[in-house]
Structure 1
Amino acid sequence: MARIREFDIDQATDRAMDLFWRRGYAETSLQDLLKELSIGSGSFYAAFGSKEQLYIRALDRYISSQGSDLDTALDETPGIRDAVRKVLAAMIEADLADPARGCLVVNTATQCGDQPPAADRVNTAIRQVESSLTGALERAQARGEISPEKSPRELARFLTTFIQGVRVVGGARMGREFTEDALSTAMRALD
């Protein structure tokens, strides 16, 4: 008879995600995970399979949450310029508050980009951001907020690339003036 799992798998995934986010994939050992999750190795392997599988699960959870937050910010803020500025400013503030943490997707790209499951997730996350931005920009263009000569998809790709760059620059601790100057320039792309 199988034992009943004595921990919440979603909460455990969130705790593991936080540990991976703070320390990085390579610097997080199985022992670190067992301690953080307060479980034994048998329970760990039964629930998650491996460290890599748990990392991918945590990354998927992060990507889903971030994508939902992006969609909400773009949908709930009137005016595309205000919405985009709000999204970008929130990322800048998060990086200024905790530059070592950064973005889990960017961290994964730089730390695990050569591992196919992780690289696939990074690609998915970037495409998700592009898609959300493209949709918001198309709706804004239909409302007359953006010139009909602009390509929503090209703007979305630029902003997606800018977002990833902002996250890297935040980790490099370039400071508020640097990132706000870059944000002002990026916003002009919508003009």
Structure 2
Amino acid sequence: MARPREFDTDVAVEQAMRLFWRQGYHSTPVPQLTELLGIGSGSLYAAFGSKDGLYAQALKRYCDDLVAALDRDVRAGSDIRTVLRGILIAMVTTDAVDRQRGCLLVNATTERATHDGTAEQAHATMTAMESVLTGALDRARGRGELGSEHNTAELARFFITFIQGLHVMGQARVDRTFLEFAVTGALKALD
């Protein structure tokens, strides 16, 4: 008979996510994970199958949170330009506070670009972000904030690409003023 699990897997995924986010997948050895989580390697493998399984759950948690936050933020405001500017400037600010950490999704896709599970998670997240942004842009068009000539799916893809680029530029320690001007330029796509 199997022993009952003696740790909270949700807490473990959250803690592992923060460690992977700070150090990356390859720089995070299993002994460091087990020490952080306060479990033995057998418990880690029983709960998650492998380090890769734990990473997959941690990345999914991050991505789910990212999409939920984006959805919450675009629904919180009224004018699409104000909402998107607020979201983009908040990203610039957050990245400036901790330039080394950056965005876990960007980090994962650059570190593990050839890993099928990581690529699939990145694609699913970008698709979900596209849906959220397309919906927000459609609602904005319905309120008269966007002209009918705009393809909202194309605009959503542009902003998703721009967001990922902002994260990369933040990690590259690009000057905040430069990034704020870039945000202003990106928002002109809504004109």
Across the two proteins, how many residue pairs are aligned to each other?
191
Residue matched to 2:25: 25
CA distance in 1, matches of 2:66, 2:156: 16
Residue matched to 1:188: 188
Alignment partner of 1:28: what SS? Answer: coil
Q: Deviations over 1:34-79 (max 9, x none)?
A: 1111100111111111000110000111111111100000001111
Alignment partner of 1:149: what SS? Answer: coil
Moved more, 122-131 or 59-68: 122-131
| Ranges of 4+ aligned residues in structure 1 off by more than 6 Å | none
- Counterparts of residues 58-73 of structure 1 (less than 5 Å): 58-73=58-73
Residue matched to 2:143: 143
Letter in 2 for 1:96: A
Aligned: 1:2 with 2:14: no
TM norm structure 2: 0.98
Residue matched to 2:38: 38
CA distance in 2, matches of 1:170, 1:186: 16
RMSD: 0.8
Q: Which segments of 5 or more consecutive residues in structure 2 lack a partner in the other structure?
A: none
Letter in 2 for 1:105: L
CA distance in 1, matches of 2:70, 2:15: 22
Residue matched to 2:106: 106
CA distance in 2, matches of 1:20, 1:98: 15
Residue matched to 1:154: 154
Residue matched to 1:12: 12
Q: Which segments of 5 or more consecutive residues in structure 1 lack a partner in the other structure?
A: none
Alignment partner of 2:162: what SS? Answer: helix
Residue matched to 1:51: 51
Deviation at 1:6, TM superposition (A): 1.3
